[in-house]
Amino acid sequence: MAVYADIVFLRELLFDGVILLLTGWVRGIRPKPWRLLLAATIGACYTIAMLFPSLAVLYHFFIKLFISFLMIYISYGYFSMQSYLRDLISFYIISFVLAGGLVGIHYMLMSSSNQVWANLIFIGGEVTSKWQMGTFYIIVCSLLLIYLWINFMRSKQKQQLMQNHLTEVELHIAGQVIHCQGLVDTGNQLYDPLTKTPVMIIQISELAHILPPVLTGALKQGNMNQALHSITEHPEMSMWQDRIRVVPYRGVNRNSQFMLALKPDLVKIKHQEQVYQSAKVLIGFDGGQLSSDGSYQAIVHPSLVVQ
């Protein structure tokens, strides 16, 4: 069997570079390109050296460990033992994920049991498995796994960021108490221009059981004219007229728009084990669904979670 050292070297150089790059991305570190290239080259040279029987000593576990320590040191340097160990652990986790993914895809693509048995070798009562993976197969599968890994990590970071900004909202309105989940949005700087009262947004569906159907129906349909008309024309709106406000704002297209808002008796917000409450707040109505996955039903003004 012929082994092309140049192909093996380039393949290992690519894989080691990608793993080191992913390690830096996970750890939030941007290594210098020359350091990354040098570390990947050392890893690729080590793989080539292992092809020579006379260098069998390089198979030793501690030699492999030393090479990985050296690659991490060259790529990211040494600032503290804690930081260095985190870099090293991230490097190994990513390596194991990619290796495990390659094996998993390899066996998943097998179409018959004959292919499985063809990869098994029986020697002296022991069973050994052999892999037969082409360079193209490994590159394609690795790129696929890297893509999935990056998307998974981004999704996890986004979810973690959202979890840090989720709150428990308790609204007190006309003797009614409404509970829902809120999201603190630092980009929400909506105030009533006349009273400088902060405005938080809530899905109209959360208040549908206490507000008149004529109002909630108009807001769900996005018919602002009908909603404004219902405030003065329908008798069932009489008890709400003193609470309703019309708040002007600019949309994303910079056009002036209007939002109906409600003056509550009290708003309580629990955020990161702290409870904030305020009576100086307006609740703006949104006729749709604020979160596609339903994780929150209100957008909390950032000024409401400040002592």
What are the pLDDT digits (tens) for 195-244? 888 888 898 888 888 887 888 888 888 777 777 777 777 777 777 778 88
Q: What is the pTM of this model?
A: 0.52
Residue 99's CB: how many other CB atoms inside 10 A? Answer: 14
Confidence (pLDDT) at 139 = 63
Give catalytic status of residue 185 as yes or no.
Answer: yes
Rounded Cα distance between 50 and 100, Å, is 22
Give the active site residue among 16, 87, 185, 192: 185
pLDDT at 251: 59
pLDDT means per 10 residues, the chain with 307 residues, are 63 79 78 85 80 69 83 84 82 76 60 47 46 56 66 68 79 88 81 86 86 81 77 72 80 67 89 86 86 82 80
What pLDDT does residue 124 have? 46
Rg of the chain over Cα atoms, rounded to whole angstroms, equals 30
